[in-house]
Amino acid sequence: MFETLYRYSQVLVRHLEGPAAEERDRFVTDFVESGAARESALHLASELLLVAQRLDVGGAKAISAREIAAAADRWVRHQQRRGRIRTSHFSRRRFVQVATDWLRFLGRLEIVPATPLAGANFVSEFAAFMRLERGLSPHTIHNRCWHVQEFLRWLDEQQCSVDAVSLEQVDAFLTMRGAQGWRRISIATAAGALRTFFAHMAARGLCSDGFAGGIEGPRLFKHEALPVGPRWEDAQRLIACTDTDRPKDIRDRAILLLLTVYGLRCGEVVALTLDDVAWDRDILHVPRPKQRCKQDYPLTTDIGNAILRYVQQVRPAGDSRRLFLTIKAPIRPLAASSLHYLVAPRMRALDIHCPRQGPHALRHACATHLVAEGLSLKQIGDHLGHRSPDATRTYAKVDLVGLRQVADFSLGALL
């Protein structure tokens, strides 16, 4: 496979004479046969050579995750000393991921039996309670269970069981989160999840009735956070920059329009299927996970043309019914997290300044624009798919245009 990938003799020799060449070649070959593009295979082969040079794969001994992490740390320090990287996060994660996948492929990865999480049965029952009795959305259930699992894992490290927990320990856990850099809203969310969990435990007689009420997070003030989206003019510039014939721009233009015009969430965009576009009626069916239904939007001319161009010219053929797929092999549906890397680099390139540079910022831009256009909060809430009017009122907190008009108004004649 290396002979196929590399055209320059010196590069080819480096890969052929490097450590574990035959094992690396087999892994890259399997990667290409799975449908990966040549460019992806080149990146993998280069990273594999680094892994093989810094990780002793000789012999038949299984290699543990701890050894992989130590090798990754050495590689990152080596890169930092030479000023080749500014942040270690991506380089370390890439090294660990490639090494783990390669060793698993070779059957050389040490598999450590996962120890069951203390109180896992309580978390399962808590999730069932939220789903069956409270009727909460899967997203909300997942988030609350994650916070509870993290607390129980920390509690296990303190050698304490869930039935012997104290409020002081809950406070210590939340304080630790603050020391790790969590913001007040995130800590308050964790406190709310733990409050709900221990209220459920109290209802089952597994803790005292007043325990949940004693859990306090940071105090939050109503409507304290301001919308953090870009200006509408900047959002339009962002969309305009995709007006090219490049396949990635054609796909991204359709996504950016959905994020900006309809104010869709990331999960709602990637969940769209080919069947959600009703071309005969010019309707777009948008999945709303919180409402457990689909909301119909009129398919505007610009968005309809952008989606149609993407489907006809760019979208890879395949069995998947998801609307948005990756451009390069292996072809798979886009993940919600990938939309951040679709939006943020473009915003930075266009020098668009706002507190958060990601796809959700475009939802804020949409809502703020609708407020400026004079739509009622009810209309804006319906457009954004809000279940509660409280979620919409945040966009009415500061009307900058109105404040500027007040500032320009002279009171001199009245004084």
Catalytic positions are 265, 290, 360, 363, 386, 395
* Paired tokens of 55: 């990780």
6: left (phi over 0), alpha (psi -120 to 50) or beta: beta
Residue 172 CB: number of other CB atoms within 10 A? 12
Alpha-carbon distances, residue 194 vs 124, 157, 173 (angstroms): 14, 18, 11
